[in-house]
Amino acid sequence: MDESTRYTFEHLGDIFVERVEKAVSWLHNSTKGVSLTYRIHSLEKDRDKSYTRIGKRTSTLRKRNPANELFSDEDLSHLFTEFDEVDRELATARQEREERLYPHSKASEQPV
């Protein structure tokens, strides 16, 4: 047997473990990307629901008392706060996905 074949047989276990580690790492990153995409879709649905609830509450307030200041309503203020939280989470998730998909792009270098 020549040296390279002998070396390969002696270190076959190491080579196998390295390949398995690479495959597991790839699988972990892929799973993280998929779950991040599902999270983004869920946050987009939550944001749309917030739009709807804000619109319904605004319509209700305008019908009841047209002269009322909309932003003095406690429920509406709570809905706006909830909407802002979902919007911030969505922006963070989108940026994280962009950084994962395009690690060397300018989008990943900009702060949130």
- pLDDT tens across 34-76, in order? 888 999 999 999 999 999 998 888 888 877 776 666 667 788 8
CB-based burial label for 99 (10 Å; 0-12, 13-18, 19+): middle
Query: Using an 8 Å Cβ cutoff, are 100 and 107 in contact?
Result: no
Secondary-structure percent of the chain, ordered helix, strand, coil, rounded to 5: 85, 0, 15
> Is the pLDDT reported for residue 11 higher than 50?
yes
When comparing pLDDT for 83 and 106, which is higher? 83
User: Which contacts (CB < 8 Å, 24+ apart) does range 83-89 have?
Assistant: 83/47, 83/50, 83/51, 83/54, 86/43, 86/46, 86/47, 86/50, 87/47, 89/43
Q: Extract the tokens encoding 62.
A: 């305008």
pLDDT of residue 68: 65
Q: Considering the chain, what percentage of its residues have pLDDT values greater than 70?
A: 87
